[in-house]
Chains A and B, each alone.
Chain A
């Protein structure tokens, strides 16, 4: 009841904020594309990669990892219980990759050449591999998202065809994701001189993949929690609890990999005396991985959806810390350069997140993202009339 009274105000407030952000984005884009990257960022020859790479690209791709994790759970492992969260996860991933591409259009010096890797090959470049994987995976995501649109506009025949190739799309999607999630870490392998030993490691690709998995699951839980608040639908607390148990395992694997790696490379010694890097490391690993792992391991803790969301929020924040530590903190420490993103850089990143949230809310409103809504929508039709609708689906399942 109280939610009803607050919603119009909150809605108006956030609309206004978003409007301002989008306007700011337009102005920054104007200066960016007429006067150059230097006109709006604090990047320099000594510090050529900043917030737009560290947050928009590295975090954007990682936080979209829920898409491949959940689709694999449902379509490859056949754990059908998780079906209700497949569509929100795929939507998040799809929007995530779209925003990464928008971020790249801002960050690349000549974004109109973004397609060049298609015809100009250099297989020795990690960036080349990432580019290809992101292109292909965005295509796969379109395929995975297509059924939602087809269902909305009732293209039953086409829907059947698309659904029959879903398992293939999911397998390809998982392989592509494994490759480029890890490759974002491989980007830094060639920079041993530019990354502080707390973060430089030959294990970076593996660490990037496992942490993306944790962040992807975390995002899925957090976003399920908030969509319940926005759309007032029932929350799959039990499902989210089970997902969070998986998080405990993933975080455990991550911590063993991370700490063992630091131990082997004798990098833990750099923690003492305590420096800025040490503090950032502590926040990243302590608050962003160990704490949520311990919390989520407790069964009683997992019973409250609010607490689940908080703990998974820590996982997401810890993940963002990790990516920014690799791309900014560690580079600053190793090169002696100082970099604080400009107001414009922050504004672009925040605006992209806001755009993503808007797109998510709108998609949820107009497309059958949540299963309950898909059934509630044609409420005018009698229940009996809707019966034939699942038939083509059943047909397809026997074919596949």
Chain B
């Protein structure tokens, strides 16, 4: 199951903003300063002080909540890695925005035909991969197969344990993501969302949803049985009542 992932190395980031610029170009958005996710912004840099810059983007979860909750399959996890969005299918329920544990999807609140907006790992660029990785001058964002990215992350941490915090953010979070972070501090100190759940989030829903066929089958038999039993009782009572009446008369 080789598929694409992105490794963000916070220690190497110089905060030049080339990734943000490249992202806006690649997605045909007007150039603008990016302070947080919004309908025009799929990625932005957080200035964490003392020359630490942390880039945020869609985490492209291995088993994404957004795709699992979407009633019409507008959001899907493609085999190649990206979690993509098809506005033609979307009906605008915004469950994906509720479900995302990383607070990534945004909405075109002031449009009459609104779309959900988020990074799609430059799926439109095909094999060329995400623009942010291509334009990064410091190898702070690199892309490749997930296993290769994990190996690269481990290599960098081992090569310089004094600089790197040993955690790879994205290995465990929400059951694993295809955007991975390494950096000089623990993920929470870098301002990355705390996602304590290390199993795929869709499992939480499936535990309830899997009972649906049982409810239908047992419910049908149970209710049908109740109907039949109480109806029979009623008929018996009617016949007996009739007999009694006749006897009296």
Residues of A within 8 A of B (CB): 33-39, 43-46, 48-49, 72, 75-78, 108-111, 113-114, 116-117, 120-131, 167, 171, 174-175, 178-179, 182-183, 186-187, 189-194, 202, 205
Contacts and interface: CB of A to CB of B under 8 A. Distances in A.
Interface stretch (B51-59, B160-168, B211-219): B211-219
Q: Which of A34, A39, A78, A117 has the most CB of B within 10 A?
A: A78
A189 B203 CA distance: 9
Contacts of B99: 190-191
Interface string B74-114: 10000000000000011111110111010101111111111
B203 to A, nearest CB: 9
Contact of B220 (A128, A171, A194): A171
5 A-B pairs with least C-beta separation = A109-B92, A38-B109, A113-B91, A127-B71, A128-B71
Contact of B73 (A43, A122, A205): A122
Contact of B93 (A38, A77, A127): A127
Q: Which of A72, A116, A178 has the most CB of B within 10 A?
A: A116
19 contacts: A37-B107, A76-B223, A76-B226, A76-B230, A77-B230, A122-B68, A122-B70, A124-B205, A125-B68, A171-B224, A174-B219, A175-B215, A178-B215, A179-B215, A183-B208, A187-B95, A190-B69, A191-B98, A193-B195
Contact of B92 (A45, A113, A191): A113
Given A49-B94, A110-B114, 16 more contacts: A43-B109, A78-B231, A108-B92, A109-B90, A110-B92, A114-B91, A122-B70, A122-B71, A125-B68, A125-B71, A126-B209, A127-B70, A175-B220, A178-B215, A190-B65, A190-B99
A130 B92 CA distance: 15
Interface residues of B, number: 57
A126 B205 contact: yes
Nearest to B68: A124
A189 B91 contact: no
A189 B210 CA distance: 13
B110 A38 contact: yes
A122 B93 CA distance: 14
A183 B107 CA distance: 25
Interface string B223-234: 110110011011
B208 A34 contact: no
Contacts of A202: 204, 207-208
Contacts of B71: 116-117, 122, 125, 127-128, 130-131
Contact of B230 (A78, A174, A183): A78
A124 B202 contact: yes
A186 B69 CA distance: 11
A189 B205 CA distance: 6
A120 B90 CA distance: 10
A47 B60 CA distance: 21
Contacts of B207: 189, 202
Contacts of A182: 208
B219 A109 contact: no
B90 A110 contact: yes
